[in-house]
Amino acid sequence: MARLASYLRAGLRLAVLLGVTALMAAPSFEAAAGVELPKLEKGKGEKCVEDTAFMRRNHMELLKHHRNETLRQGIRTTKHSLKACVECHASGKTGSVASSKEDFCVACHSYAGAKPDCWDCHATKPGKHSVRQAAQPAVSPLMPSSGGRQ
Amino acid sequence: MAQQLCINQGECRTGQFFALLALGGLVVLGALFAFFTLEHHGHILTGMNNQIVWGLPHVFAVFLIVAASGALNVASIGSVFGKQVYKSRAPLSGMLALALLAGGLAVLVLDLGRPDRLVVAMTQYNFKSIFAWNMIFYNGFFAIVGLYLITLMDRKLKAWSKPVGYMAFFWRLSLTTATGSIFGFLVARAGYNSALMAPMFVIMSFAYGLAIFMVVQSSMYRWNGLRLDEGVRRRMKNLLAVFVGASLYFTIVFHLTNLYFAKQWEFERFILLDGGIYTKVFWVGQVVIGGIVPLILLFMPRSKDAQSMCFCFLAPFLVILGGVAQMYVTIVGGQAFPLVMFPGHEVQSSFYDGVVNAYHPGIYEWLLGLGGVGVTFTLTVVAVRVFKFMPQDDFQTLQARRSTD
Amino acid sequence: MSDSMNSKLEDRRHFLKTSAVVAGVTLGPGVLFFGVAQSRAPEEGASSNQRWGMLIDTTKCGDGCSDCVTACNTENGLTGHTGPQDSQWIRKVDIKDLRTGYVQSLPMLCQHCENAPCVDVCPTGASMKRADGIVLVDRHSCIGCRYCMMACPYKARSFVHEPLTDQNPEVPRGKGCVESCTFCVQRVDRGDKPACVEACDTKGHKAMLFGDLKDPESEVSKALKSSDSVEVRADLALHTGVRYQGI
Ligand code: SF4
Ligand code: SF4
């Protein structure tokens, strides 16, 4: 038994060596209980594409689903696209969702201890091809689209 | 704790043990430093680029991985072919195989552009990719050889060591074949596209693995103030000579068959004649230091009392150096040679088409590559210290056998 | 994913389908004005009824002209630097026949191979081919091993060696991943041509034709049918989406 234990210990050492790189931060709201909630800048437009409460918990799933559809299948709907998030939530001050501590994405993620790597590749500012402009009239031609016209 | 577990013959040189450990640890730390630096700044700090995409880290990684499979040879000869001398070395051989693979994989992982996605690599497989198969083989190797070690070292499970040994034997043959195929499948590149790549890797793995085993074994005996039995020594020496000879033979066949195909001439000219550093590394490193000199040393006739000059350390050590040189020529040289897109044409572009690509490894690549060796070294030092890996020879039978053969 | 979420996504799909019909009616000719054959509704994915391809006429390609390269860099947010560690998605290659001395110049880019070696070797499946033949790197699962770069016969791929900022929102790219020409997938999905082709057209060279190889009526199909063209490294039988004329 003692020998088994030392096998395990040796194995563990190995695992630690190999596992250094696999560290991942687990996002959790509960963990930060007691800290004051981040104050978020209000997005453009009347309301988000989904309930705020739903979005708070599930936006990552929606985004993940959407990114796979867009990239792998070429489905280019805009409702749950990251670009659309950025267009509505880019800060009035910095023009970005993630360049200062108060910006929409960063403010909440740092509160929740989440470290997504979206911004390694994705732009944090809206571009000249607005997704909302193209899509909004199609979805609801009567509602003026206020998002992303900049 | 260490004091208790110090079961090797000879005194327990705790101070020196920790010195070795510190040395190994330092090298590993160096690799971690390089890793975090690259993770932050990107590979821009290395000498690798869009032409030489695999550099020094891969040279070390592939060498260690290939050697890992070869290091298991000793155990296989013991378990699968039932040779007693090798049987008593099986645990050391298995442990070395694991340490080498861990070292090689560590470099491979630390050099990834997105090492944070290791989880993706471990969970998402494209089964068409030989590279993905390699990951499966590597993981399986850890499991099977680990199990094998347990059956070898635990009295109650001893009976299982033979079937598990067989499994390990076939598994690692597949592993090296797969590793060789990583290169063999690169049809577009003149330096790699060869069916000989996989078998050549298997043979070379035998040589490199055994060489590393012998170096470690010599060091352990010296460390404990013991002398390896002359009969054992002779056997391993001859075996190494066979493997080194076979590797040389394969190298010759590889280049000869390439010469047979006119379209490969340019590449052969490059490696054999005018490839600058690669030609030099090939002839001086791979052929002379890694092949011819060790063969001479191994076969050099010696008088009985010159036994201390057995080259049981030097010859395999040179084989190891030659092995690293071979990997350098294969991996870096193969990329340095311009990719042929328009046969019969002279090509020129802003993307370095048609030119021999330059590669100047930087400090971070060295740190990463050597870090793999450091991982292997540290694991070995610890394992040898904590477990009973010293080969337990039955000297009387050896003596008896020696007088008969 | 939770059940409620699934049903939400289902709802959404349904909703989008209905609204697409409405959109078609509402917008009518206004939207469909540009490139009828190519554009499709956003919720409609890439389809295997199409295969995007390109025909490059090297006799029309100007020696020393690099308008396609510039256009690509602008569209995709590349610096245009040409150091050994810089990304180049399209490059001009000058070739000289060693026997005759005949000199030509041509653009080289990802050939969007049907049997793409990069896709075959990629361990995680990050290198992938869309149903319509466009070969892309899914940067969400690319681990940066660079095996695809070793495998590509055209050196079409680049590895991003340093952190990037201010990317084009439509073209996400970042450190540690491999990238290559996407046929400007963001434009193609809107019904536009790739930036390089457009630039070549506007400058009047018209050396690059882009279109659907499966549509016999497309300009590129007709051109392919009426004259000889080749794949580069045809011996590898990769059935490239990009073909050349005049070499
Ligand atoms: S040209 Fe290269 S990158 Fe493009 S599809 Fe073919 S193999 Fe892949
Ligand atoms: S670098 Fe990325 S895309 Fe290329 S083979 Fe590796 S994981 Fe696949």
Give per-residue pLDDT as tens, B264-321: 788 888 888 888 899 999 999 999 999 999 999 988 776 555 555 567 788 999 999 9
Q: Whose CA is nearest to atom 4 of ligand 1?
A: C110
The per-residue pLDDT for A21 is 36
Looking at residue B180, the DSSP 8-state letter turns out to be H
E strand or H helix that includes residue B347: strand B345-349
Q: How many domains does chain A have?
A: 1
Look up the CATH architecture of domain C41-245: 2-Layer Sandwich (3.30)
Among chain C residues, CA nearest to A122: C172
Q: Is A130 a member of any domain?
A: yes
pLDDT band at C16 (very low <50, low <70, confident <90, very high): very low
Please, which chains are in contact with A (at least 3 CB pairs closer than 8 A)?
B, C
Please check whether residue A8 lies inside any domain of the structure. Answer: no
**Which atom of ligand 2 sits closest to the CA of residue B129?**
5
Q: Does the beta carbon of B6 lie under 8 angstroms from any beta carbon of chain A?
A: no
The total number of residues shown for chain C amounts to 247
Q: How far apart are CA B356 and CA B362, in angstroms?
A: 19
Domain parsing of chain B, residue ranges:
21-341+350-404
Rounded to whole angstroms, the Cα distance separating C247 from C245 reads 6
Could you tell me if C128 lies within 8 Å of chain B, comparing CB atoms?
Answer: no
- Are the C-beta atoms of residues C26 and A141 closer than 8 Å to each other? yes
Residue ranges of domains in chain C = 1-34, 41-245
Q: Could you give the CA distance from residue B361 to residue C147 in angstroms, rounded to a whole number?
A: 19
Nearest CA-CA partner of B180 in B134, B142, B242, B222: B134
Calpha distance B329→B279 (Å, rounded):
8
> A108 in a domain, yes or no?
yes
Q: Is residue B137 a contact partner of residue B171, using CB atoms and an 8 Å limit?
A: yes
Query: Is B137 near chain A, with CB under 8 Å?
Result: no
With the C-alpha atoms ordered C181, C187, C191, C197, is the resulting torsion angle positive or negative?
Answer: negative
Mutate to test the pocket of ligand 1, among C51, C114, C180 (most ligand atoms within 8 A of CB): C180
| pLDDT top residue among B222 and B399 | B222
Q: What is the DSSP string of chain A?
A: -HHHHHHHHHHHHHHHHHHGGG--PPP-TGGGTTSPPPPPPPPSSSS-SS-HHHHHHHHHHHHHHHHHIIIII-----TT-HHHHHHHHS-TTTSSSSSSTTSHHHHHHHHHT----HHHHS-SS--SS-HHHHHHHHH-TTSPP-TT--
Give CA–CA dist C93/C90, Å, rounded: 10
CB B40 within 8 A of CB B116: no
Which range among A26-35, B71-80, B316-325, C42-51 shows the weakest confidence by mean pLDDT?
A: A26-35
Please list every residue in chain C whose beta carbon sits closer than 8 Å to the beta carbon of residue A76: 42-43, 189
CA A111 to chain centre: 13
Cα separation of C222 and C215, whole Å? 9
pTM for the complete prediction? 0.85
* Percent of chain B predicted with pLDDT > 70: 91
pLDDT score for B12: 61
Residues B21-341+350-404: name the CATH superfamily. Formate dehydrogenase/DMSO reductase domain (1.20.1630.10)
pLDDT of residue C51 exceeding 90, the answer is yes
Mutate to test the interface with C, among B128, B351, B364 (most CBs of C within 10 A): B351
3-class secondary structure per residue, B259-283: HHCHHHHHHHHHHHHHCCHHHHHHH
- What separation in angstroms does the CA of B191 have from each of B251, C73, C108, C146? 13, 32, 22, 17
Q: Would you say the CB of residue C145 lies under 6 angstroms from ligand 2?
A: yes
Task: Tell me what percent of chain B is helix, strand and coil, each rounded to the nearest 5.
Answer: 75, 0, 25
Closest CA to B78 of B236, B297, B230: B236
Q: How confident is the model at residue B222 (pLDDT cuts 50, 70, 90)?
A: confident
Confidence category of residue C3, pLDDT binned at 50, 70, 90: very low
Q: Note whether B387 contacts A10, CB cutoff 8 Å.
A: yes
Check the CA dihedral B146-B147-B149-B154 and report its sign: positive
- Range of the structural domain that residue A121 is part of: 52-135
More confident residue, C136 or B299: C136
Answer whether residue C202 shows pLDDT above 80.
Answer: yes
Is any ligand 2 atom within 6 A of the Cβ of residue C126? yes
Instruction: Give residue-wise pLDDT tens across range A42-63.
Output: 878 788 889 888 888 899 999 9
- Considering the domain boundaries, does residue A2 fall inside one? no
Rounded CA-CA distance A56/A34 in Å is 18
Give Cβ neighbours of residue B352 (< 8 Å, ≥ 6 apart).
B50, B51, C84
Residues in chain B within 8 Å Cβ distance of A3: 153-154
Q: Does residue A17 lie in a domain region? A: no
Kindly state the tokens that stand for B369.
Answer: 């590559």
A14 lies in a domain?
no
Q: Is residue A9 part of a domain?
A: no
Separation between Cα atoms, residue B321 and residue B337, nearest integer Å: 23
Interface test with A, best of B5, B7, B100, B118 (most A CBs within 10 A): B118
Flag whether A69 is in a domain.
yes
Per-residue pLDDT, averaged over B153-181, amounts to 85
Cβ(C144) – ligand 2 distance below 6 Å = yes
Residue having the nearest C-alpha atom to atom 4 of ligand 2: C148
Number of the ligand 2 atom closest to the C-alpha atom of C124: 7
Residue whose tokens read 């506007």: C202
Instruction: Check CB contact under 8 Å for B350 and C178.
Output: no
CA-to-CA distance for B239 and B251, rounded, in angstroms?
18
